[in-house]
Amino acid sequence: MKRVLAMIALVIFLVYTGAYIFVYLFRAFRLPEPAPGTVQIWHGDPFARAILVSVFFLIGLLILLFIMLMRPGAHRAGVIRVRPDLWEWLAAQGELTNEAPERIGERALATYRARIEGSDAMTHQ
């Protein structure tokens, strides 16, 4: 639920910022050059352009973050992707032993983790 709320907040921010920049640019390029001696921000001012570029850069980073968070598999913590050839082997073993391939994979991973940790908990079965 927290991830969905974060995504909604990010989308709202991106839409608002995009609309703000669109309106800013639309209004800024319709203004004539400022009269000499007046103090105002003009769209041709290097500082205003630098701020605009930094906002575009921020929007790009946020879009990249959004894409990375929404990619398939980003929401499943603890899920291990299995190579296609290993999955075929697991399916073949499952047919031979009349067991689900997922269960065979879980058992193999548990045995592997037990060996890495140095425990012999899996060998006493």
Single-letter code of the amino acid located at 2: K
Could you report the per-residue pLDDT of 76-101, keeping only the tens digit for each? 666 677 788 988 999 999 999 999 98
- Percent share of the chain, pLDDT over 90: 10
Q: 114 with 125: CB under 8 angstroms? A: no
Question: Residue 8's pLDDT is what?
Answer: 80
> Comparing 100 with 11, which gets the higher pLDDT?
100
Question: Residue 88's pLDDT is what?
Answer: 92
- Give the start-to-end residue ranges of the domains of the chain: 2-70, 84-124
pTM of the model: 0.36
Question: Residue 95's pLDDT is what?
Answer: 92
Q: 66 with 10: CB under 8 angstroms? A: yes
- Which band of pLDDT confidence, cut at 50, 70 and 90, is reported for residue 75? low
3-state secondary structure of 125: coil
